[in-house]
Structure 1
Amino acid sequence: MKQLALAAARTIASEEGLRGVTVRRVAERIGYAPGTIYNLFANLDDLIVQVNGETLRGLGAALAQVGGGDPSTRARRMTDAYFDYVELAPRLWAMLFDHRLPDGVGLPDWYRQELDRLIGDAARRLGPALGDRSPADARRAVVAIWASLHGIATLSVSKKLGLVADVPARELGHFIVASIVSGAATDGRLNSSDIVQSYSKI
Structure 2
Amino acid sequence: MARRNDHAPDELRRLAREAAGAVAREEGLRGLTVRRVAERIGYTPGTLYNLFANLDDLIVHVNGDTLDRLDAALKAAGASLPAERRARLVDAYFDFVEADPLLWSLLFEHRLPAGAELPDWYKATLDRLIDNVVAALAPLMEAWPSPEARRMTVVALWAALHGISTLAVSRKLTLVAAVPPRALGHLLVERMIAAGPAPASPPPVTLS
Q: TM-score, normalised on structure 2?
A: 0.86
Match of 1:166 in 2: 178
Check conservation: 2:164, 2:173, Cα contact below 8 A.
yes
RMSD: 1.2
1:1-202 correspondence runs (5 A): 1-66=12-77, 67-71=79-83, 73-133=84-144, 134-183=146-195, 186=198
Check conservation: 1:179, 1:185, Cα contact below 8 A.
no
Please give the per-residue CA displacement for 1:121-172, whole angstroms capped at 9, x wherever unaligned.
Answer: 1000011112321100110111011101101010000111000121100000
- Measure, in 2, the Cα distance between the counterparts of 1:185 and 1:135: 12
- C-alpha displacement of 1:50: 0.3
- C-alpha displacement of 1:185: 6.6
* SS of aligned partner of 2:50: helix
* SS of aligned partner of 1:119: helix
- C-alpha displacement of 1:14: 0.5
- Measure, in 1, the Cα distance between the counterparts of 2:120 and 2:161: 25
Match of 2:205 in 1: none
Say how many residue pairs are matched.
Answer: 186
- Measure, in 1, the Cα distance between the counterparts of 2:16 and 2:71: 22
Check conservation: 2:141, 2:193, Cα contact below 8 A.
yes
One-letter amino acid of the counterpart of residue 76, structure 2: Q
- Measure, in 2, the Cα distance between the counterparts of 1:48 and 1:68: 33
Larger of the two Rg values belongs to structure: 2
Check conservation: 1:152, 1:169, Cα contact below 8 A.
yes
- C-alpha displacement of 1:23: 0.4
Q: TM-score, normalised on structure 1?
A: 0.89
Check conservation: 2:143, 2:197, Cα contact below 8 A.
no
- Measure, in 1, the Cα distance between the counterparts of 2:197 and 2:162: 19
- C-alpha displacement of 1:68: 2.1
Aligned residues with identical type, % of pairs: 56
- C-alpha displacement of 1:179: 1.6
* SS of aligned partner of 1:153: helix
Check conservation: 2:80, 2:88, Cα contact below 8 A.
no
- C-alpha displacement of 1:117: 0.6
Q: Runs of 4+ in structure 1 displaced over 3 angstroms?
A: none
